[in-house]
Amino acid sequence: MSTKANKASALIAAGALAAVSMATVSSVTAAEGEMSGEMKMEMEKCYGVVKAGANDCAGAGHSCAGQASADASSAEFIMLPSGTCDKLAGGSTTSS
């Protein structure tokens, strides 16, 4: 085979591989989209269980996530699946 033929074959193979890869990604993305709709769960704020620097949103004295200055502050929260907070020691769904 000539060099031109080898290059053409390589380009065709690469194109076919790209097409198969894109089709696979599209089907996986569609399947994930369907699953996420089925697996959506209700979330709730859980106060009093967050580690310093691991809060999910604004809290006492700051306006950003990740700025909690103390562990287990009753003014800081993380988002958890509904019903989980009540199972945690020190967890509360209301701020104090």
Nearest to 66, CA basis, from 49, 81, 84, 78: 78
Q: What share of the chain in percent tops pLDDT 90? A: 25
pLDDT in tens, 13-31: 555 444 444 544 444 455 5
What is the C-alpha separation between 47 and 49, in angstroms, rounded? 6
Show me where the domains of the chain are located: 1-40, 41-96
Q: What is the DSSP letter of 43?
A: E
pLDDT band at 68 (very low <50, low <70, confident <90, very high): confident
**pTM score:** 0.54
